[in-house]
Amino acid sequence: MSEHIQLDFSVLKKTIVWWEKKRIWFNIIIGINGVLALLSIGPPYFSITEIVGIVIFGFFMNIFYSTGIILAVLDSYYFRNKFNLFRFRHLFIIIGTMLSIIFTWVTAFAYYFPPC
- Give pLDDT, residue 29: 97
What are the helix (H) ranges across the chain?
A: 9-41, 48-77, 89-112
For residue 81, report the phi and psi dihedrals to the nearest 5 degrees.
60, 30
Identify the band that residue 1 occupies on the pLDDT scale cut at 50, 70 and 90: very low
114 domain-assigned = no
11 domain-assigned = no
Domain of residue 58, residue span: 23-109
Count of domains in the chain? 1
Rounded-to-integer distance, Cα 49 and Cα 92, Å: 33
8 domain-assigned = no
What confidence tens digit (pLDDT) does each residue in 10-51 have?
878 888 899 999 999 999 999 999 999 988 998 878 889 888
67 domain-assigned = yes
Closest C-alpha among 36, 95, 37, 86 to residue 65: 95
Q: What is the pTM of this model?
A: 0.84
**Residue 97 DSSP label:** H
